[in-house]
Structure 1
Amino acid sequence: MKAIQYRKFGGPEVLEYVGLPDPEPRAGEVLIETTAIGVNFPDVRERMGVYNRAETQVGGVTLPQVGGLQVVGRVLNAGTEAHDHLVGRKVMALMSKGAYAQRAVARADMLVELEDDTDDVVMASVPCQGVTAFLALQVCTVLRPGESVLVHGAAGGVGNLAVQIAKVLGAATVIGTASSDTRRAFVLSRGADHAIAYDSPHWPESVLSITNGKGVDVILETVGGDVFDENFACLGMLGRCVVIGSTRGPGKPLAPRQLMAKAQTLTGVYLPSFFQRPDLIQRGLRFLKDGIGQGLIRPRVAATLPLSRAADAHAMLERREAQGVIVLDPRY
């Protein structure tokens, strides 16, 4: 089979289009002939060696590595008879590695079956980012109908899906932040009620104005730095702040007593930690499948490139040229 492998850490140029033996599924796993492969920014960070640095506190990568976290394709065979019923079925799968290949192994408890007429490219664009957004809104906290949500970085992959998921869950008011007029227009097109700039000096005041001074019930935090501290000026009574990322760095430590005055909660989500709870992964995948099938969730595919051009896909992500997810076609 053809696959994208890297034998050392570095820039996109370390990604090699090579021939490798087909992987063998073990007990509890299936082998998938891929038809579409989603590209995520964690793939880039993994390739750069970021996760092998002690300060990241993330499990490292063993070289050589075939990266990638999500695929759509058909099951060729199963590692145990218990999963033989999946053979021949189209599936959407989330995995820890190995997606950048014409054939990939996935855990049978971290995939969902798809209808034959499902759009493979669209479905391959959502597992990592969509499940992260779902876990943030339905597991790390539980967004209730009628509540308000502030989504930072709402034009990004996780953010724009979080906006849509919040609306599906019945949020009364969804506010998205983004860095430019174009990106804020995109946030509104995804269903947000308001779009504001998080680099404005008075953005928390805008949130308070929108919520009639109450503040929001839930904040999905992706920016970090000074923005993290400013969140608490517009997080309401019994509000919950869910940390998904920190593009500006972690910022200053938070004094825990700061949460007491309004009985607020601070929590976080890190997708790989949920691989030990595959029931929650599957729940998220089913939610995405159903939402897309009903037209309630509209993923944004920025480009479809041949698998052999995975390096170009990584370069596009690093230059922030992609408004949406890049999907790889394993046929080429």
Structure 2
Amino acid sequence: MKAIYFEKFGTRDVLQFGDRPEPIPQNNELLIDVERSSVNFVDIRERQGTYNRPETHVGGIQLPHVSGLQAVGKVVAAASEGDKVWIGKKVVAYTPNGGGYAEKVVANPRFCVEIPESANADLFAALPNQGLTAYLLLTASTQIQSGESVLVQGASGGVGSLAVQIAKILGAGEVIGTASTSEKLDFIRSLGADDAVDYTHDDWPQRVLESTGGLGVDVLLESIGGDIFEQNFECLAPFGRYIIFGSTRGPGQPFAPRRLMQKSQTMTGFYLPVFLAKPELIHAGMEFLVKATLEEKLRPSIAKVLPLSQTAEAHRLLEDREVQGTILLDTTNV
């Protein structure tokens, strides 16, 4: 089968397009003929070797490696006799071990949800990794209460654009998204955000305070880091919950935990693979995402669809922050 893989860590140049052995489903796995996959920032970190550094404490990956944490396609085989009922069904799958950058991938049925044959594969391919992150941030790391305000940093990206919509579905009041260009701010408003703020302006925390009547936000989803990490506290309300799920600008300066006492605030870290220990939460999240998309309450934003062979270009677009929403890979057009 054709796949994108890398045999060493590095820049986009290490990505190779070629033949790889077809995966064989083991234990309770399903084999899926992939129609669409998608690109996540996690894939870039994998390629760079970030997760194989001792200081990250997440175990790393083995080389050669095929990235890709989500896929949509048709089930063509099953390892278990009891799972053969899946054969022929179109599914959306979360593939935490990777493999989505290929014509075929294996997935655990607990992390698969059937979708109608007529369903638009593009919409559902954008859901699993990014959608699960957004959903679990708002339902497991914290639980949004009706009317609470939410600030989503980097709201024009794959996770952020879904988090804005999911927060609204879950009953949030004021939802504010941040981005770095006027085009992206318009995009965030089109998702249903009540306000959109340019975080490249020094006074952006004041803008958030003004939008919330001076109260600050109840829930803050942080994925940028750097100087933004510290500025977030200027617009976090008393009893506010600060949830970190990324740091695209780096980790920022050391943080003194006792400062949270001043306003009885909390800080929570989020890393999706940890939730593999709670598969029932992942399954519930997958079902929520599929149901909300089928009901058109949730509409994933597709930035671009590229042939599988152009995955390096997809990485460039994501690294250079040139996209709004999710980049998909068309594995039927390699």
Residue matched to 2:197: 196
Task: Give the AA of the match of 2:74.
Answer: R
Asked if the contact 1:38/1:126 (under 8 Å) is kept, the reply is no
Residue matched to 2:62: 62
Deviation at 1:11, TM superposition (A): 2.3
Q: How does 1:180-259 map to 2 (within 5 A)?
A: 180-259=181-260
Residue matched to 1:114: 115
Deviation at 1:162, TM superposition (A): 0.6
Asked if the contact 1:216/1:239 (under 8 Å) is kept, the reply is yes
Moved more, 22-31 or 203-212: 203-212
- Match of 1:260, SS state, is helix
Moved more, 302-311 or 29-38: 302-311
Q: How does 1:74-223 map to 2 (within 5 A)?
A: 74-95=74-95, 96-223=97-224
Deviation at 1:282, TM superposition (A): 1.4
Provide the rounded CA distance (Å) in 1 between the counterparts of 2:216 and 2:319: 34
For residues 135 and 4 of structure 1, do their structure 2 counterparts lie closer, same or farther at Cα, with a shift above 3 Å needed?
same
Give the TM-score taking structure 1 as reference length: 0.96
Provide the rounded CA distance (Å) in 2 between the counterparts of 1:78 and 1:307: 25
For residues 212 and 178 of structure 1, do their structure 2 counterparts lie closer, same or farther at Cα, with a shift above 3 Å needed?
same
Residue matched to 1:50: 50
Deviation at 1:92, TM superposition (A): 0.7
Asked if the contact 1:72/1:120 (under 8 Å) is kept, the reply is yes
Moved more, 318-327 or 217-226: 318-327
Task: Give the AA of the match of 1:15.
Answer: L
Residue matched to 1:297: 298
- Match of 1:172, SS state, is coil
Provide the rounded CA distance (Å) in 2 between the counterparts of 1:198 and 1:330: 36
Provide the rounded CA distance (Å) in 1 between the counterparts of 2:239 and 2:255: 17
Q: How does 1:23-42 map to 2 (within 5 A)?
A: 23-42=23-42
Deviation at 1:127, TM superposition (A): 1.3
Unpaired stretches in structure 1, ≥5 consecutive residues: none
Residue matched to 1:263: 264
Residue matched to 1:17: 17
Deviation at 1:59, TM superposition (A): 2.2
Provide the rounded CA distance (Å) in 1 between the counterparts of 2:130 and 2:5: 23
Task: Give the AA of the match of 2:94.
Answer: L
Asked if the contact 1:225/1:249 (under 8 Å) is kept, the reply is yes
Deviation at 1:237, TM superposition (A): 2.2
Deviation at 1:15, TM superposition (A): 1.9
Moved more, 183-192 or 82-91: 82-91
Unpaired stretches in structure 2, ≥5 consecutive residues: none
Is residue 313 from structure 1 mapped to residue 314 from structure 2 by the alignment? yes
Provide the rounded CA distance (Å) in 2 between the counterparts of 1:46 and 1:3: 16
Provide the rounded CA distance (Å) in 2 between the counterparts of 1:231 and 1:319: 23
Deviation at 1:12, TM superposition (A): 2.2
Deviation at 1:108, TM superposition (A): 1.5
Provide the rounded CA distance (Å) in 1 between the counterparts of 2:131 and 2:175: 17
Q: What is the number of equivalent residue pairs in this alignment?
A: 332
Moved more, 32-41 or 75-84: 75-84
Task: Give the AA of the match of 1:189.
Answer: S
- Match of 1:205, SS state, is helix
Deviation at 1:111, TM superposition (A): 1.4
Deviation at 1:261, TM superposition (A): 2.6
Deviation at 1:256, TM superposition (A): 2.0
Asked if the contact 2:70/2:93 (under 8 Å) is kept, the reply is yes
Residue matched to 1:288: 289
Provide the rounded CA distance (Å) in 1 between the counterparts of 2:251 and 2:321: 21
Asked if the contact 2:187/2:324 (under 8 Å) is kept, the reply is no
Asked if the contact 2:157/2:323 (under 8 Å) is kept, the reply is no
Deviation at 1:56, TM superposition (A): 2.4
